[in-house]
Amino acid sequence: MSQQAARHSALVKETAHSLGFDFCGIAKAEFLEDEAPKLEAWLKQGMQGQMAYMANHFDKRLDPTLLVPGAKSVISLGYTYFPEQSIPEDNTYHIARYAYGQDYHHVIKSKLRTLLEKLTEKIGNIEGRAFVDSAPVMERQWAQRAGNGWIGKNSLLLNRQLGSYFFLAELIIDLELEPDGPVQDYCGTCTRCIDACPTDAIPQPYVVDGSRCISYLTIELKEAIPNEFEDKMENWIFGCDICQEVCPWNRFAKPHQEPAFGAHPDLADMKYEDWEEITRDTFQKIFKKSAVKRTKYEGLVRNIQMAAKGKK
């Protein structure tokens, strides 16, 4: 690798950290050969549930040069969202920590654009695209290749310094950079995430059956939640953090420094009855800029009604 590529790589990481990203790694933009058979098998078993989009653009998911012609590097970035204080969990329903504040897509996409602009100013013209869970990009696989962590048995990216409470984002660009090597898997013999999942959504290590995951049931599924799950929701009404809460690596999770991720002040006061009587106006007020809007009001009410059947 040329000295110029090494210099540019150092500049990328320095600039990313200056914008608040917690980690930044680089991988060569090439076909994900090892992932093709795994993705195909997962889709064939129907583990995507109603997420039909997972089967779309199969080739693009595996080949970044189909997303960005002439791509040479994938820059993988992480941005933590772990809160300083979690919302109290007594006598109330739960929403995933990532949804406490404003929708991360907008917050991080803006930072990615700034990163690309700053690199262009310092290096010259760079062609590329920014991705925040918004296109067929296998972000965890790229993060693993870029040395940002390893994919754990719960299929999330784990980082020895930060655990797993972070968002992933990518810049795919036509600039040659010095790639980082992958790190080893530190899950060992631990099976806490598998054992703790109330819906048995992790049938085997490193494989998640999306159609059984509480996050899928409360966000992606558009019809009624199957009755078999009515006593398994564990009070979760939007997303689920169980497999992260039990992961030993999350004892290293560091609180975020992003004001936009602060929880709406009303959330901490919501008890069972407040959720069960939530009005459309209250929904709009609390979740105006939140990812929870993805379920729409009717979807959240459906989730609350299902969770209420097995209230803990």
Active site positions, annotated: 133
Phi, psi of 27 (to 5 degrees): -130, 155
Phi, psi of 246 (to 5 degrees): -90, -10
Residues 6+ apart with CB under 8 A from 177: 5, 8, 9, 12, 26, 72, 73, 75
User: CA geometry: angle at 246 spanning 243 and 252, to 5°?
Assistant: 110
Amino acid at residue number 61 = R
The DSSP bridge partners found for residue 95 are 238
Token pair in block for residue 125? 């013209």
Please give the C-alpha separations between residue 275 and each of 92, 115, 238, 267, 293, in angstroms, as whole numbers. Answer: 8, 40, 12, 10, 15
CA-closest candidate to residue 307, choices 229, 204, 245, 254: 229
Q: Kindly give the residue spans of alpha helices, DSSP state H, lying in 209-295.
A: 214-215, 242-245, 272-276, 280-286
